[in-house]
Amino acid sequence: MVTLKPGLLLGGIKQSIVGSGFVPLKGTDVKVFGRQQPNYFAANNRDIYIILLLSDLRFLNGRIVFLLSELFSSINFIVIVPPPFEFQPPLLISTDYNMGLVIVPHDVPIREMFSDRFDADRHPVVKIVGYGFPICIRINEQGQAVGYDWNVFRTILVHLKLRWHVTVYELNSTMELMEWFNKELYEGNIEILIDRTFRPDTKSVQHVLPEMNGVCLIIPKTQKYEILQHLLRPFASTAWIVLTVALLVGSCIAKRHFRHSLLDTLIFGVDLDAGNVSRKERIVLFGCLVVFFILSEAYQAKLLALISSSRYPPDPKTVAEFLQTDTLLYVGEATATVLSFRPSLTGRVRKAADYWFTFDGEQDYGTLMQCPVAWDFFLRWTTRHYNLHGYNVRPRVHIVAENILSLPASYTFSCSFLLYPRFKVYLDRIYESGLMRYWQTEQDRRQMFEQKFVFVENEIISFNDLIMVWIVLGIGHGLARHCDAHSGRVGTAPARCSTADKTSIPIPIPVGTTLIT
């Protein structure tokens, strides 16, 4: 948008901007307020001001440039001055970001008049300070600045061919430190402050981007299944109920019509070719044995697959799945904010001022944390244990992928930093192109695709679990032998017959045989 100011006719300007009221410019129709506060947010618009100067070129100096920048609170203006010689086209003069005069060619389109007026060599070193979470910006072991926020600003600085100096502070957040940051920003000692959570005063410029930082749930990992849970997992609860009812009903029916109990037959087996087994009983027992064999093989196959692949219950992936657990959330001062965004969490959130949370799994409650920061801590923990043990260790906490809150990202610029309009355009374009989110989720992609960060269960079943299995098998075999021995004693009951010589001879008589005396 080009804004034409026809009433702005500047003559020879020799007065400075002083006084409490307004100062009339000599030979002009413009009134400039001496104590006008520059609106630095006005530099964000794309308006271009065109000024017609009806005076000699000798009067066009740096003072007029400063006056125009103070008047319009912008440096996007063009000054049209008469030519030095007759029959020549007028001169188009603009300024660069160092407040220097630049002659603009006539054949340049208006959209391109301000694109190439920046001279990086003339601009001093950009002073950048990083603070906040290490994943945003930090100094690595090689002494280089890294972090996804630094990737954004480094791209802009390299594209502008600027020089920079980065200082990263790793201090606790205090009011004195925040006041010192505001003071340094106002004095120009800090030109860019990279801290997404910093809230500057009115003397600095804060550029806010849309939602970038989601807040995630960090909860303890699920505990592994017990041996009894492993044994019950192959079949659903309804299947176990149906099988139990069918077995009991079948045993009661078989006990009335057959000599052998159905339960004993399925557990201990029976000789179907025996002479005392009827044809009808043989058919029923054979069918039951076939069904029992199919169910037992399916049970063993599924049990082996489950116990070797998933020893742990699945972790919640959404907030709805988290609400089905009994885990509490410990939150600081943001309790009301969390409940306003997620009313379903009512009753699960506890306000605690002095709670602590570690990724070693030493607590039984969860908390809230910014998703990129949580992933950074998660990957650091995984890498540290991988380097310590030489193999992947199961994490102690779980990050729920669904976001609870949405927080905007903000960056702070000094009011004296003249390159802020350019940085604003770059930040907006990088955000709209998706590069900023691409850099931010780089850690997530590493966690998903790098072999080092893919967790593989090393202990499929521990030695203690094997001991429990052996104990259960031993108890089962003992009970089976005891039942078998008891059944043998009941099946052949001894009987005594009296002979003429009064000698008692024990004769084994099967159960159900009628003794004729």
Residue pLDDT, tens place only, 288-344? 778 878 888 888 877 777 776 666 777 888 888 888 888 888 877 666 667 767 777
* Residues in contact with 47: Cβ distance below 8 Å, sequence separation at least 6, in sequence order: 1, 2, 3, 74, 76
For residues 356 and 359, what is the distance between their CA atoms, to the nearest angstrom? 10
Q: What is the pLDDT of residue 514?
A: 45
pLDDT at 413: 92
- According to the model, what pLDDT value does residue 192 have? 92
CA atoms within 13 A of residue 356's CA, in its CB half-sphere: 4
CA distances from 276 to 211, 272, 485 (A): 81, 9, 20
pLDDT of residue 265: 66
* DSSP 8-state symbol, 26: T
Cβ atoms of residues 212 and 436 within 8 Å: yes
* Residue linked to tokens 């008469």: 82
User: What is the per-residue pLDDT for 11?
Assistant: 32
User: Distance (Å, rounded) from C-alpha 391 to C-alpha 414?
Assistant: 48
Report helix, strand or coil for 343: helix
| DSSP at 325 | S
Question: Per-residue b/e over 290-329, b at no fewer than 16 CB within 10 Å?
Answer: eebeeeeeeeeeebeeebeeebeeebbeebeebeeeebbb
How far is Cα 397 from Cα 364, in angstroms, rounded to an integer? 10
Beta bridge partners of 496: 506
* Among 8, 16, 28, CA closest to 61: 16
Q: What is the pLDDT of residues 293-305, one digit of tens each?
A: 888 888 887 777 7
Q: Which residues of the chain carry a pLDDT beneath 70?
A: 1-66, 69-70, 72-76, 96-100, 110-122, 211-213, 225-227, 230, 254-277, 308-311, 333-337, 340, 353-354, 440-466, 484, 486-517
